[in-house]
Each structure stands twice: as structure tokens, then as C-alpha cells.
């Protein structure tokens, strides 16, 4: 039985995983842990998950997050991609796929599936992660969760829109976008 989906207002689980950070020989891998979420620099984190490497929908999402990397950086936000594939499979995929060679963010390897299970995003039959996105505030608290079916790609612009709204720390109406008026209570 898998865990329930982690909820908004919950501390992001503690973890320590390998990630692919480069395709340059000798610099491919780096350990990433949950302590990187908690800092004094007001740094936010967006962690997005995909089901499997070497598939069809996943690279379109990963490439789109990479195109928007500067927008996340401009919002003081660390971007991390993740799946249950190994760091070696991530590396092979990055080397093999034109759109993934120059990624500016790490590809986290949750080979034990423990983090996906703790987040409540491990699909019951195939034991792969759903397409989930978590926005985590500088205190390590989950502020937004979005989960899609395995066959449906997410909208990166919506992730940025929600991040902008959360960072205002104000009341934002339906369809609010950065630069628009917030609500006064």
C-alpha cells in the first residue's frame, strides 16, 4: 500500500539521493538532500517528477522546465527534476536525447522509490512516480502540489504563475498573474 499524497502545509520529507548534474566525464553525479531546501537565502524549490526516462511525454516537460530555468532562477527558486530511474539511466538519457543534454538542473534518482512513496506519488501497478510538482518554500514546507495522470503533460507556465502568487504572500484572485493587483481583505 502506498502513502497518501503529501499535503500543502507539510514539511517536505527528509531525503538523500544521487542526481545527474552534468554529462561531462567525471562531473556527472552529485548527492542532493533535503537540507538544500532549508536555507537563509529565501530560496524556494520546485521539484517535479516524471514516470520514466526514455519515454515520449516526459522529455517535452523536462525540456520546457529547462527553457524556463531562468524564470525560476529569477524567482530565487531551485529547480529539481526527479524520477524512480537510476542516475545511470538519467545520464544515458541525457546523452541520448538532444533536448536533455544541456539541462541546467539536476535529475534526481529515487531508485529505492522511497521518496516517491513518502510523497504519495508512487503509482500502484508500475511502481513509477506520477507526474507530480511540488513548490516548497524556504522553510522546507510544501506550499503547492499538482499531480497529473501518467499520460498527460503539465503546464510549466502554470507552475510559474502559482510560484509568483505564493511569493507575493498576499491574496491572489482566480487567474491572477504577476503584476496584477492582489486582493485586500
Catalytically active residues, by annotation: 58
| Distance between CA atoms of residues 158 and 154, nearest Å | 8
b (16+ CB within 10 A) / e for 63-97: bbbbebeebbeebebbbbbbbbbebebbbbbbeeb
Amino acid at each position: 500500500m502506498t502513502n497518501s499524497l503529501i499535503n500543502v502545509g507539510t514539511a517536505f520529507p527528509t531525503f538523500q539521493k544521487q542526481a545527474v548534474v552534468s554529462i561531462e566525464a567525471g562531473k556527472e553525479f552529485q548527492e542532493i538532500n533535503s537540507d538544500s531546501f532549508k536555507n537563509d537565502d529565501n530560496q524556494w524549490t520546485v521539484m517535479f517528477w516524471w514516470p520514466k526516462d526514455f519515454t515520449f511525454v516526459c522529455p517535452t516537460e523536462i525540456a520546457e522546465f529547462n527553457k524556463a530555468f531562468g524564470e525560476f532562477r529569477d524567482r530565487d527558486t531551485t529547480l529539481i527534476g526527479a524520477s524512480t530511474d537510476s542516475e545511470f539511466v538519467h545520464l544515458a538519457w541525457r546523452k541520448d536525447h538532444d533536448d536533455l543534454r544541456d539541462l541546467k538542473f539536476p535529475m534526481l534518482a529515487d531508485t529505492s522509490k522511497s521518496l516517491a512513496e513518502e510523497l504519495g506519488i508512487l503509482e500502484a501497478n508500475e511502481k513509477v512516480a506520477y507526474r507530480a510538482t511540488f513548490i516548497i518554500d524556504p522553510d522546507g514546507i510544501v506550499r503547492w502540489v499538482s499531480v497529473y495522470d501518467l499520460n498527460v503533460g503539465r503546464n510549466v507556465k502554470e507552475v510559474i504563475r502559482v510560484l509568483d502568487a505564493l511569493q507575493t504572500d498576499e491574496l491572489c484572485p482566480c487567474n491572477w498573474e504577476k503584476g496584477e493587483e492582489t486582493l485586500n481583505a
